[in-house]
Amino acid sequence: MTTQAQTLLNDPVTRTRAYFDGEWRSTPKTFDVIHPGTLESIGAVADCTAEDAGRAIDAAEAALKVWRKVNPYERGKILRRWHDLMFVHKEELARLMTLEMGKPIMETRGEVHYAASFIEWCAEEAGRISGERISMRFDRKRGFTSSEPVGIVYAVTPWNFPAGMITRKAAPALAAGCVMILKPAEQSPMTALYLAELWLEAGGPANTLQVLPTNDAPAFTAPFMVDERVRKVTFTGSTAVGRLLYTQAAKTIKRVSLELGGHAPFLVFADADLEKAAREVVGSKFRNAGQTCVSTNRVYVQREVAAEFTRILAEKTSTLVLGDPLLDSTSVGPVVEQAGLEKVQAQVQDALERGATAVVGGAVDHGLFFQPTVLTNVAPGSLILREETFGPVAPIVIFDTEEEGLRLANDSEYGLAAYAYTTDLGRAWRVAEALEYGIVGINDGVPSAAAPHVPFGGMKNSGVGREGGHWGLEEYLEVKLISMGID
Ligand code: NAD
């Protein structure tokens, strides 16, 4: 009997060889990439070692010498072709992302657009990288700044946006004249390899973007952290790993960008449009089965409207379709792996034991599929109000005053994204200013922050630096002062 899994194994969209030191390379060891929908392997990928990392750094050093001197407009043209090729291969890329990490195909198609938009923006921006003329205190002096590429960049990315988290880093780095060595997440290395293939097809010179999957991230990463030639580390992932890399990077004083965990509060005030607020909670909570760093993690509702809002949110949540992520009709797919599922189960169990009620869902459906869930009466101190959930569960907590709502919303070690719904203009400003988060959505639950021209990043334990817009490009540029005497 042919199972679905057998037809998925070695699907034509899958990619298995690493790209480094100018070649597509197989390695003695491999590791399997598992489709979360069926728990079967879709292929065995090259498992790169610390020795391979060393070869990649040597190759990057040579590539940097050439790439940093390529005319920025020419760099922009190659980026533009890379962007266009993503659309030529849109359906394959979307399918590959869904196979690797289980995000519904309707969302991975959207991710192709999202990921490509960063390349397009940086393609246009490459030629605009410039410096400034500075007025000097002495008439016999002239001052200028020039922006220069930081150099070799080591990038480590997560699985939850297998393409978007890569292009948000690679596009500005390559536009700036840097070269990148990328270690993708173990769960989604094939999308990264596909993107490297398209970069080369677009005319990207050899070794400007090398992609090395590995199943041993700490050992593989070690050579980068001690090598003086690697001038920057850019990381998206958990706060625990970000903290580790931050410490390791200190030895060679590398520049560091960290996009880390989040725990977004969503405040619904009594004067809010409840229909719209509930619609946006659904969007920001259940997208990607809740596995998004800016996902709503805590819903705070003002007492007067709590019952009505809960009713509307429950109704909308019940219409979500949990199922095969490869089908167009699916709105919520599986979570990525067993450990993630167990974390969601533990948080829901903890909340229920402390007196919460599941008004929708509350349990595993099958395999890695967790039912879209709404919890009410969630007690203060519950795990779900503190730890990142990364699953399709919306816990509701009631508050009374604006002051109390803000205090609860800011009571987190994280500071990535926060949302508030209100029709009171004064309150909107007060709340936007008081929220200690890098991204604030006012009457906007799926913020336009997911766009190439705006700054994306967190405060507190959510990270260092910003991606997107000129802020994201500057992360890959050094500013040099040139002071000149003219007498
Ligand atoms: P993770 O930190 O476990 O893994 C992320 C990456 O780090 C993977 O490539 C992994 O192989 C690598 N890694 C793990 N240990 C390492 C080590 N010791 N040395 C070097 N690399 C190592 O995170 P995850 O569970 O895969 O991803 C989910 C996390 O990412 C969540 O916390 C989420 O909030 C965060 N995230 C943040 C953003 C953002 O922009 N702020 C975006 C997406 C995801």
What confidence tens digit (pLDDT) does each residue in 348-390 have? Answer: 999 999 999 999 999 999 999 999 999 999 999 999 999 999 9
Instruction: Considering the candidates 259, 280, 402, 467, report the single residue annotated as catalytic.
Output: 259
Helices (H), ranges, 372-453 = 402-410, 425-434
Place of tokens 């399997």: 32
Ligand 1 pocket test, candidate residues 47, 169, 188, 236, most atoms within 8 A of CB: 236
CA 80 to chain centre: 22
pLDDT (0 to 100) of residue 6: 58
Residue corresponding to tokens 């393409």: 163
Listed residue (400, 390, 419, 413) closest to 463, CA to CA: 413
- Return the ligand 1 atom nearest residue 416 CA: 41
What is the H or E stretch that residue 93 is in?
helix 90-101
- 94 pLDDT band, cuts 50/70/90, is very high
Q: What CATH class does 3-260+463-483 carry?
A: alpha beta
Phi, psi of 407 (to 5 degrees): -60, -45
Residue in this structure with the two tokens 């991710």, named with its chain if needed: 111
- pLDDT at 347 > cutoff 80: yes
Architecture of domain 264-450 in this structure: 3-Layer(aba) Sandwich (3.40)
- Say how far apart CA 279 and CA 314 lie, in whole Å: 11
Beta strand 414-415 pairing with 459-460 = antiparallel
> Cα angle vertex 465, ends 461, 471, to 5°?
150
Closest ligand 1 atom to the C-alpha of 185?
Answer: 9
Does this model's pTM top 0.95? My answer is yes
Instruction: Provide the 8-state DSSP code for 9.
Output: T
User: What six digits make up the tokens of 72?
Assistant: 């920025």
| The pLDDT of residue 451 | 92
Q: How confident is the model at residue 446 (pLDDT cuts 50, 70, 90)?
A: confident
Instruction: Say what the ipTM of the complex is.
Output: 0.95
Alpha carbon of 183 to ligand 1 centroid (Å) = 11
**Distance, CA of 350 to CA of 384 (rounded, Å):** 8
**CATH 3.40.309.10 domain residues, the chain:** 264-450
Task: Give me the amino acid identity at 45.
Answer: V
Question: Over the stretch 212-268, which tens digit does the pLDDT of each residue have?
Answer: 999 999 999 999 999 999 999 999 999 999 999 999 999 999 999 999 999 999 999
Strands 209-211 and 179-183: parallel
Compute the average pLDDT of residues 88-110.
98
Give catalytic status of residue 48 as yes or no: no
pLDDT score for 209: 99
Spatial distance between the Cα atoms of 416 and 410, rounded to a whole number of angstroms = 11
**The residue to which tokens 């229920």 are assigned:** 352
Contact assessment for residue 210 and residue 196, using Cβ atoms and an 8 Å cutoff: yes
Q: How far is the CA of 335 from the centre of ligand 1 (A)?
A: 15
Q: Flag whether pLDDT at 53 surpasses 90.
A: yes
Q: How far is the CA of 260 from the centre of ligand 1 (A)?
A: 7
User: Could you tell me the distance, in angstroms and rounded to a whole number, from the CA of residue 484 to the centre of ligand 1?
Assistant: 45
Catalytic residue among 107, 186, 293, 388: 293
Task: Band the pLDDT of 445: cuts 50, 70, 90.
Answer: confident
Instruction: Name the residue at shortest CA distance from atom 10 of ligand 1.
Output: 185
- Which candidate, 268, 279, 263, places its Cα nearest to that of 307? 268
Q: Atom 19, ligand 1: which residue's CA is nearest?
A: 218
CA 428, CA 486: separation in Å to the nearest integer?
Answer: 54
Kindly report the average pLDDT of the chain as a whole number: 97
**Rama region for 294: left / alpha / beta (φ>0; ψ in -120 to 50; rest):** alpha
Q: In terms of Cα–Cα distance, which of 107, 93, 6, 4 is closest to 329? A: 107
Mutate-to-test residue for ligand 1 from 160, 225, 414, 471, highest number of ligand atoms within 8 A of CB: 160
pLDDT at 4: 54
Which residue puts its alpha carbon closest to atom 9 of ligand 1? 185
Dihedral over Cα of 454, 116, 446, 405: its sign: negative
DSSP string, 333-393: ---SSHHHHHHHHHHHHHHHHTT-EEEE--SEEETTEEPPEEEESPPTT-GGGTS---SSE
Is 475 within 8 Å of 255 (Cβ atoms)? Answer: yes
Q: Specify whether 293 is catalytic.
A: yes
Q: Considering the chain, tell me which residue range(s) the CATH 3.40.605.10 domain(s) occupy.
A: 3-260+463-483
Mean pLDDT score, 279-304 = 97
Show the ligand 1 pocket: residues with CB < 6 angstroms: 156-160, 165, 183, 185-186, 217-218, 221, 236-238, 241, 244, 259-262, 293, 388, 416, 458, 463
Find out whether 60 and 21 touch, Cβ atoms under 8 Å.
Answer: no
